[in-house]
Amino acid sequence: MSFKIYTKTGDKGKTSLIGGTKVPKSDVRIDAYGTVDELNSYIGLVNDYIADPDTKSLLREIQDRLFTIGAALACDPDKETKLKIPDLHEADITLLEKSIDQMNEELPEMKSFILPGGHVAVSTCHIARCVCRRTERLCVGMQEHDLFIEPLVLKYINRLSDYLFVLARWTGHKLGAEEIPWKPRV
């Protein structure tokens, strides 16, 4: 089946939310779900560098949850939609926490701040973490502008950034890459 990818409907800087409401492409809601899409792309890149099958599987699951979050953010909360949007569950957050705890069991204690780097896979995890934190800031910004955002979305994004930080450390550990401690100039 073939269809045209371009519709020309956004050529004047507007787009539609799920529900039909037209908003500028610079709208905070569009910025938030666009950043979720960017994060999802980086998670895909992280997955390309990971060899562990269990981690690869979890990263695919995270990508699915990010599509769920993006769809939720793309909805006009004041309109009823015909589209069935999947939702997050507390179990999605628990899954991240369990994985964080399992990875932490294998890691040496952190005695200082660490600089991103040491291996391209580690650096990519850190880039994904930074994009995740930006996503979180945008979602909090939505809240501050009285735009509805599901509380579990904020909780999931916050926990995901923790997961990505620990994943960066764990990946470096598995690859034998030394952590680079931050040694502040004082």
pLDDT digits (tens, 9 = 90+) for 96-127: 999 999 999 999 999 999 999 999 999 999 99
Q: Helix or strand or coil: residue 155?
A: helix
pLDDT at residue 34, as a whole number = 93
Instruction: Please provide the distance, in angstroms rounded to a whole number, between the alpha carbons at the two ends of the chain.
Output: 63
Nearest to 54 by CA among 87, 101, 92, 99: 99
Say whether pLDDT at 67 is over 90. yes
Q: Confidence class of residue 129 from pLDDT cuts 50, 70 and 90?
A: very high
Say whether pLDDT at 25 is over 80. no
d(CA 36, CA 68): 10
75 contacts: CB under 8 Å, gap ≥ 6? 17, 18, 19, 81, 85
d(CA 137, CA 143): 10
Dihedral Cα 4, 41, 44, 125, nearest 10 deg: 170
The total of other beta-carbon atoms located within 10 Å of residue 75's CB is 19
User: At which residue do the structure tokens 């999931």 appear?
Assistant: 156
* Mean pLDDT within 66-81: 82
Beta carbons of 60 and 3 less than 8 angstroms apart: no
The total of other beta-carbon atoms located within 10 Å of residue 58's CB is 19
pLDDT at residue 29, as a whole number = 83
Say whether pLDDT at 1 is over 80. no
pLDDT at residue 7, as a whole number = 73
